[in-house]
């Protein structure tokens, strides 16, 4: 695959989806920020989904839905030639378009993504990077158990488990080559893909479900985006992967119901950003656990979705706990609606107005770099015959502390060195969200905590 290098920036020819006028967003309380403001560019990518994609790293008889990265890689890489680096590659929620009849094998599926870039800082101009992409996969298996009967209280427990080992192996290969992770994104429609594969399963698979409560394993394709230095560098980066779940609850008392989601993101950010790590990705790995209780017209559902927080640190600063970044989160709501063509025979189209660009731009003025846009199940429905759905999102940011430079070989300023704890009990990364094993050595540059 080709690559492109970052250098002095100029205004790119391809603009972004600005999503409408700026919307006032409450900013974190604090003194004025005197560091670099962030100059963003947003690029919308239209990609066709191959519903029969095959990859060499999976079994020869397995097919997956996946986009062809060669379709849009040149657009993304061109931004590096204009002095930008990518921060996020994210699927636009609900933007999938399906045309034709899937049952007759004449359907076409398209999906939209957005690449979010920032201009290089002056001190970064000397270091040029190339954008790379690797295909990877996760393996997901669903399960369900229930008790009760039609007339009495019914309890149901369902969920899925995920094997992300291939993604971590890809990440380890990236680090060995001096690369730095940018983003991990599902390159298709994970939810629709799982449902389609379930419908296509044989009678034997259905018998397995009723006999054991589990479904056969299903594979989902993902793209792993990362940077590689144009000139070889002795600096290597290690990664800490921490599990921080999103917990959601749904209460239904006819005819109304609502979702409420929480995540202890403050604790994770304080613990890792506070000891010199940088947050580079938050990836929902589709491991879930849901419990529902129904009694009459009342339903209560609790759901836990696993999210993998991936932190980065230069190996040369492994024992330096100086905080380089601080983090925050902004709440945002996007809207979506459905349009049916030809009574369904002409396809179904989702219209989505994410409108997150004004939020990101506003935070960028105060130095905040976007890390991940994470959707929640929290929704509000407006209208009846052609309803519009509002969905809550969490947009996570971080910014470089004033007076610090995060480039390879840059020394820690004396004012920060005095505050760095170098005692023997701090020579390894801090404990994770719950508990953490000792840090990996340079032969294994990532570590996971489930």
* Tens-place pLDDT, residues 267-308: 999 999 999 999 999 999 888 888 877 666 667 888 899 999
Rounded to an integer, the average pLDDT of 162-170 is 90
Q: Is residue 216 a part of any domain in this protein? A: yes
Taking residue 193's Cβ as centre, other Cβ atoms within 10 Å add up to 21
Select, from the ranges 92-106, 342-356, 407-421, the one with the highest average predicted confidence (pLDDT).
Answer: 342-356
Rounded-to-integer distance, Cα 321 and Cα 357, Å: 33
Using 50, 70 and 90 to split pLDDT, how confident is the model at 257? confident
Burial class (CB in 10 A: 0-12, 13-18, 19+), 293: middle
Q: Which residues, other chains included, contact 256 with Cβ-Cβ below 8 Å and sequence gap of 6+?
A: none
> Which domain does 434 fall in, by range?
40-407+422-449
Burial class (CB in 10 A: 0-12, 13-18, 19+), 366: middle
Report the length, in residues, of the chain. Answer: 450
Q: Is residue 33 a part of any domain in this protein? A: no
Nearest to 72 by CA among 55, 91, 51: 91
Rounded to an integer, the average pLDDT of 422-429 is 33
Tens of pLDDT, residue by residue over 179-210, are 999 999 987 554 455 444 444 444 555 566 66
- Number of compact structural domains in the chain: 1
Which residues face 252 on adjacent strands?
Answer: 257, 299
> What contacts 24+ positions apart, CB below 8 Å, involve 145-151?
145/213, 148/294
Q: Is residue 10 a part of any domain in this protein? A: no
401: DSSP letter: P
Nearest to 275 by CA among 447, 429, 440, 431: 429
Taking residue 267's Cβ as centre, other Cβ atoms within 10 Å add up to 11
Q: Is residue 417 a part of any domain in this protein? A: no
Q: Is residue 19 a part of any domain in this protein? A: no
Q: Is residue 415 a part of any domain in this protein? A: no
Angle at 62 between CA 58 and CA 64, to 5 degrees: 90
Q: Is residue 297 a part of any domain in this protein? A: yes
Among 68-82, 232-246, 252-266, 397-411, the range scoring the smallest mean pLDDT is 252-266
Which residue matches tokens 């983090």?
327
């Amino acid at each position: 695959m080709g690559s492109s290098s970052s250098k002095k920036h100029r205004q790119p020819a391809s603009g972004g989806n600005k999503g409408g006028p700026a919307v006032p967003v409450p900013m974190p309380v604090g003194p004025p920020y005197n560091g670099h403001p962030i100059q963003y560019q947003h690029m919308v990518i239209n990609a066709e989904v191959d519903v029969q994609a095959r990859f060499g790293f999976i079994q020869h008889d397995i097919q997956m839905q996946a986009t062809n990265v060669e379709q849009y890689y040149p657009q993304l890489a061109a931004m590096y030639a204009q002095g930008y680096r990518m921060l996020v590659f994210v699927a636009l929620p609900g933007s999938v378009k399906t045309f034709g009849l899937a049952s007759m094998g004449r359907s076409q599926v398209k999906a939209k993504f957005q690449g979010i870039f920032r201009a290089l800082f002056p001190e970064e101009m000397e270091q040029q990077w190339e954008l790379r992409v690797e295909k990877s996969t996760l393996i997901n298996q669903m399960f369900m158990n229930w008790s009760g009967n039609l007339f009495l209280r019914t309890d149901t427990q369902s969920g899925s488990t995920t094997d992300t080992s291939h993604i971590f192996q890809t990440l380890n290969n990236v680090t060995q080559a001096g690369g730095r992770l940018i983003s991990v994104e599902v390159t298709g429609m994970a939810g629709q893909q799982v449902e389609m594969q379930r419908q296509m399963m044989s009678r034997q698979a259905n018998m397995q479900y009723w006999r054991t409560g589990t479904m056969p394993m299903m594979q989902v394709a993902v793209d792993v985006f990362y940077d590689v230095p144009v000139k070889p560098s002795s600096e290597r980066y290690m990664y800490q992967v921490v599990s921080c779940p999103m917990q959601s609850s749904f209460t239904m008392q006819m005819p109304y119901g609502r979702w409420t989601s929480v995540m202890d993101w403050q604790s994770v950010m304080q613990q890792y950003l506070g000891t010199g790590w940088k947050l580079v990705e938050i990836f929902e790995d589709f491991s879930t656990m849901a419990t529902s209780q129904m009694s009459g017209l009342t339903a209560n559902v609790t759901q836990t979705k696993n999210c993998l927080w991936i932190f980065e640190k230069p190996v040369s600063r492994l024992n330096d706990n100086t905080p380089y970044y601080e983090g925050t989160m902004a709440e945002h709501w996007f809207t979506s609606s459905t349009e049916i063509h030809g009574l369904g025979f002409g396809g179904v189209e989702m219209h989505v107005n994410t409108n997150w660009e004004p939020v990101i731009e506003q935070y960028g003025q105060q130095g905040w770099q976007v890390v991940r846009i994470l959707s929640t199940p929290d929704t509000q429905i407006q209208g009846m015959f052609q309803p519009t759905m509002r969905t809550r999102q969490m947009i996570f940011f971080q910014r470089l502390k004033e007076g610090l430079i995060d480039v390879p070989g840059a020394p820690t300023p004396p004012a920060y060195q005095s505050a760095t704890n170098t005692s023997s009990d701090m020579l390894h990364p801090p404990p994770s969200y719950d508990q953490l094993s000792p840090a990996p050595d340079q032969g294994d540059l990532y570590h996971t905590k489930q």
